[in-house]
Amino acid sequence: MVKRIIKPADKMRRFLSILLIFSLLFASTSFIPPVQPRIIHVLVALCDNDSQGIVPVPRAIGNGNDPDQNLYWGCGYGVRTFFKKSAEWKCISSVKDPKTHVMERLIFKHNSQNCILVADAYRGARIKQCTQDFFKNASGNFSEQVSFSHNKVTTAIELGDANLVAYVGHDGLMDFSLDGQYPSRKKDLSINKDVMIYACISKTYFYDGVLKSGANPVVWTTGLMCPEAYTLKASIDGWLLGETNLQIKERNAQAYNTYQKCGINGARGLFYAGWKNK
């Protein structure tokens, strides 16, 4: 029996061959692009007695230049306070005056879903700008890069890539017109965006703009309402779970009745799901 002698050079070549195989296997699995988070953009027009056609509220909470005390932002049921207290969301960034017409920007990360929520507090007097930006994002005609750091990792997202766009505040379209200024759906937009509108009689006043934008109205309103954050939070919870528009509408009705004590039937009649309430 002849014993084969393996030379050191052969051993080295064999080792390098095995190392190359493992390197290729590792490369094929380790460079998978990360899954992009879903993005939610919430545009809040701060409540303002002086510049909006609203039934006046107490002056302390109706100052559109004071987000900390504002009914739709810093109060107990305002977007900032309500989401900061939520068990599902963590506030990872807060920026004062990111733009001349935005007084504060908050960025939230969902604790269990791969989702980022950016909430912008617009000066009360800039409600028209807020409304226009809502339609721009809904139609794919909005672009703004936002960066934030979390766990020592810096991430940049494009707000114009938002999957869901929500408006919260007074229905300014009762006071001013955007006829001829509604942006059309951008041609290279890969999907129609989802929108939610928390304002009085929003289905009537926002209808033309949403139609032109090509967006999918998840839920909007048929009557007068208080656009506090518990309904928005309820809708987003359902949206993240992939619920139907009608299921999300029911979440709104339950939340609104819980906080407003208006009766569940009245609450169900206030909210409208999609284009045909289904």
pLDDT in tens, the chain (278 residues): 445 555 556 655 665 565 555 454 444 445 455 678 999 999 999 999 999 999 999 999 999 999 999 999 999 999 999 999 999 999 999 999 999 999 999 999 999 999 999 999 999 999 999 999 999 999 999 999 999 988 888 899 999 999 999 999 999 999 999 988 899 999 999 999 999 999 999 999 999 999 999 999 999 999 999 999 999 999 999 999 999 999 999 999 999 999 999 999 999 999 999 999 99
pLDDT value at position 255?
A: 98
The whole-angstrom separation of Cα 124 and Cα 61 is 12
- Straight-line distance from the first to the last Cα atom of the chain, in angstroms, rounded to the nearest whole number: 83
Residue 139, Cα to own-chain centre: how many angstroms? 14
Other beta carbons within 10 Å of 30: 7
pLDDT value at position 42?
A: 98
Please enumerate in sequence order all residues whose Cβ is within 8 A of that of 241, keeping only pairs 6 or more positions apart, or say none: none
| 8-state DSSP, 185 | P
Long-range residue pairs from 252-259, CB within 8 A, at least 24 positions apart, any chain:
252/219, 255/230, 255/231, 256/225, 256/230, 256/231, 258/230, 259/77, 259/228, 259/230
The SS3 call for residue 51 is coil
Sequence spans of domains, the chain: 35-226
The whole-angstrom separation of Cα 99 and Cα 263 is 40
Alpha helices in 47-195 (DSSP H): 79-84, 127-139
pLDDT value at position 237?
A: 98
pLDDT value at position 153?
A: 87
Beta carbons of 63 and 48 less than 8 angstroms apart: yes
